[in-house]
Amino acid sequence: MVRAASIDHLLPGRYVQPDLSYLAERSLSIHHWHAGRHLSDALGQAVGLLGRLAGQDGMAGLALEDLLFLDTETTGLSLGAGTLVFLVGTGRFEAGGFRVRQFFLADPAGERALLEAFLDHLGSAAGLVTFNGRHFDLPQLESRLIMARVGSSLPPLPHLDLLPLARRVWGLKLESRSLSSLEDNVLGYVREDDVPGYLVPTLYREYLRSGHAGGVAPVFEHNLRDILSMVVLSSRLQQWAAQAAEGVAPADAHPLEVAGLARACESAGLGQAGSICYESALTGLLTGSHHRLICERLGLLYKRLGRAQEAATVWRKAIEGGQGSLVAYVELAKYLEHGSRDYPAACSLVEDALARTAPSPAQAAALRHRLARLRRRLGIAQDSPA
Going by pLDDT thresholds of 50, 70 and 90, the confidence category of residue 380 is low
Residue 4 confidence (pLDDT) above 60: no
pLDDT per position as a tens digit, 134-147: 999 999 999 999 99
Query: Rounded to an integer, what distance in angstroms lies between the CA atom of residue 233 and that of residue 42?
Result: 9
Topology match between the domains 7-243 and 247-324: no
Domain 247-324: which CATH number of 2.60.40.10, 1.25.40.10, 1.10.3720.10, 1.20.140.10: 1.25.40.10
Task: Indicate the fold that domain 7-243 takes in CATH.
Answer: Nucleotidyltransferase; domain 5 (3.30.420)
Q: Alpha carbon of 295 to those of 25, 138, 180, 279, 337: distances in Å? A: 51, 39, 31, 9, 20
Residue-range domain boundaries for the chain: 7-243, 247-324, 326-386
pLDDT of residue 1: 42
pLDDT of residue 139: 95
pLDDT of residue 383: 43
Residue 183 confidence (pLDDT) above 70: yes
Bridge-based pairing of strands 21-29 and 68-74 is unpaired
* pTM of structure: 0.90
Contact 30, 93 (CB under 8 A): yes
Average pLDDT over residues 179-188: 95
Secondary structure of residue 92 in the 3-state scheme: strand
pLDDT per position as a tens digit, 49-67: 999 999 888 899 999 999 9
